[in-house]
Amino acid sequence: MPLTNTQYDRIFRQYEEKQRQSRLETQHRRDYVYERLPRYRDLEDQTASLSVSQGKKLLAGDEDALDRLRKSLAALAEEKKQLLQDAGLPADYLEPVFVCPDCRDTGYIGREKCHCLKQAEISLLYEQSGIQDMLKYNNFSQLSYDYYAGEALALFRHAVETCQSFIKNFNSDYRNLFFYGTVGTGKSFLSGCVAKELMDQGHSVIYFGATGLFDLLSSVSFDTRGRDERQSTFSDLYQCDLLIIDDLGTELTNQFTASQLFSLLNERHLGKKSTLISTNFSLAELRDRYSDRIFSRITSNFEVCRLAGEDIRMYKMTAR
């Protein structure tokens, strides 16, 4: 889901405020210099009048006027610089003060987005994803193989490699991920790792626990007064770069949720939008719980990773 116009308005209001603060600070510094160094203001006045007089000479046909103007302006600039330094001020004291000097607080360098604007977009993506706190702990910097052994270790290594490949090729390859296995084996952790890496690259990610997702879909589907909200919700779920559905199967499964799940998966598949699903169900339980078409959609369009082993969360709690 790209950022909305409202969200971009919010970002650029912040840029406007930065520019306003820069102008205020520059004017404050200028007033300070004029009060302490009257000679500086005289030099600025000379700069203005010299430009006007030499410009008239240039228009009158004096071919040397431009060269003399450049030399005179350079001499005045050097004197102003020396005045500031003699007063114990930096030579660039009256240059505009920007939070981001690269784009001068405009958000753009030429026609390209500045790194500060990209970071502002990423920050909003984090905010709307709903998983800011989770990603403090579920990210690759926290990755450890110490809790796995034997087959469980091999399965976890394979899942990690699959995630890294998914992230590396995200811009060029349409792929989906499906993690299944027993409780506490790293499914949500790997989901968070993928989410953080992609959001840090500027991709839009929406995260939902299955119960929360279907509660939301139910509320907007049956609220006849909220047409705009309903359209916005479905647009977000269909259009975001990555949709994460965590703990599939914890929701109350009925005809409505099954229908909504298939529609969601189908629309995202048609739009080549990636989806990541995790569940504690086995594949057999998944087939029994949902329709054949949902089971077929997942097993045919998703890369399936099984995880196994002890419940890591319980292990960490008992180890404290």
pLDDT above 90 coverage of the chain, percent: 38
Q: Is the pLDDT of residue 314 over 70?
A: no
Q: pTM (2 decimals)?
A: 0.64
With contact defined as beta carbons under 8 Å apart, do 274 and 170 qualify?
Answer: yes
Cα distance between residue 80 and residue 42, in whole Å: 10
Residue 141: phi and psi, rounded to 5, are: -70, -20
Share of the chain above pLDDT 70, in %: 90
pLDDT, residue 227, reads: 59
The C-alpha angle with vertex 115 and arms to 142 and 169, in degrees rounded to 5, equals: 55
At 16, list the tokens.
Answer: 């406007």
Lowest mean pLDDT among 8-22, 123-137, 202-216, 304-318: 123-137
C-alpha separations of 38 from 5, 35, 45, 74, 88 in Å: 48, 6, 11, 20, 15
Mean pLDDT of the region 7-29: 90
Output DSSP code: residue 3: P
Q: Is there a contact between 151 and 206 (Cβ–Cβ < 8 Å)?
A: no
Take residue 35 and report the two structure tokens written for it.
Answer: 């009060």
Burial class (CB in 10 A: 0-12, 13-18, 19+), 52: exposed
* Residue pLDDT, tens place only, 78-134: 989 999 999 999 999 989 888 888 899 999 999 888 888 877 876 776 666 557 677
303 and 176 Cβ atoms separated by less than 8 Å: yes
**CA-angle at 180, arms to 177 and 185, nearest 5°:** 110
The pLDDT assigned to 229 comes to: 58
Q: In angstroms, rounded to a whole number, what is the distance separating the alpha carbons of residues 192 and 186?
A: 10
First to last CA, the chain: 40
Q: Which two tokens stand for residue 256?
A: 């409505």
| Pairwise CA distance, residues 147 & 310, whole Å | 8
Which H helix or E strand runs over 169?
none
3-state helix, strand and coil shares in percent for the chain, rounded to the nearest 5? 60, 10, 30
Cα(293)–Cα(230) distance, integer angstroms:
25
Task: Quote the CA–CA distance of 89 and 42 in Å, as a whole number.
Answer: 18
Burial 199-215 (b: 16+ CB within 10 A, else e): beeebbbbbbbbbbbbe
What is the model's pLDDT at position 46? Answer: 86
CA atoms of 263 and 259, how far apart (whole Å):
6
Q: What is the mean pLDDT of residues 201-228?
A: 77
Q: Are 174 and 268 in contact (CB under 8 A)?
A: no
The residue extents of the domains of the chain are 18-100, 130-319
Task: Catalogue the E-assigned strands of 29-147.
Answer: 108-109, 112-113
Looking at residues 266-272, what average pLDDT do you find? 93
Q: At what angle do helices 5-36 and 115-129 cross, to 10 degrees?
A: 130
Sorting pLDDT into bands at 50, 70 and 90, what band is 237? confident
Decide if 274 contacts 241 (C-beta within 8 A).
Answer: yes
The H or E element containing residue 244 is strand 242-248
What is the CATH topology of the domain spanning 130-319? Rossmann fold (3.40.50)
Confidence label for 1 from pLDDT (cuts 50, 70 and 90): very low
